Amino acid sequence: MKFDLDEVLANMLGAAKDSLKDNWEFAKGTAVDFLQSRKERIDLLTSLRLSNQLSEKFFLARLQDEKKIFTSELHALAVITKVMAQNAANAAFTVLEKAVAAALGIK
């Protein structure tokens, strides 16, 4: 029954890192997309207000709504982050499981 804890821990860390790398682009792309869309909406909102197509009251109310949109986007980023954390933790556990199974001679 051979079980090298240092080696297993290093492999677990490696598996977690690879998993985080896989999901990083999705998280980054989503955050950039949220920021870009916000910029475009605020540009549109401002230009419609400046050209008097929106009342002051409507403009200010929709500007307040941008805060709600931002909060919702943060929730989405939280879900993405949780998925990344879950994948990383489970990838590390899989390595540990395999190492223990190998030490016990279980296939």
Partner 1 sequence: MERIIKIKLRTKAISSSLFFISFFLLQACRVSLVPTYDAALQTQIENAAKMTDKLYLEMMNAPTAEKNYALYSKSYLDIEVEINSILMKNEIRSNAGDIVASVKTLKTYFEQAKKDHADRQTLSNAEFLIYNEQLKALWKPVLLEEIALSKVK
Question: What is the contact surface with partner 1 in residues (CB under 8 A)?
Answer: 1, 19, 23, 26, 30, 34, 37-38, 41, 44-45, 48, 53-54, 58, 62, 65-66, 68-69, 71-73, 75-76, 78-80, 82-83, 85-87, 89-91, 93, 96-97, 100-101, 103-104, 106
Angle at 53 between CA 52 and CA 55, to 5 degrees: 75
Q: How far is CA 77 from CA 28, 34, 45, 89, in A?
A: 9, 10, 25, 18
- Our CB check for partner 1 shows the closer of 10 and 101 to be 101
Q: Which is nearer to partner 1, 10 or 39 (CB)?
A: 39
Whole-number Å distance between alpha carbons of 34 and 6: 41
Distance CA 73, CA 66 (A): 10
**Least distance in angstroms from the C-beta of 33 to partner 1:** 8
In the complex, least distance from residue 7 CB atom to partner 1, rounded to whole angstroms: 17
Quote the least distance from Cβ 2 to partner 1, whole Å. Answer: 12
Dist CA 22 CA 39 (whole Å) = 28
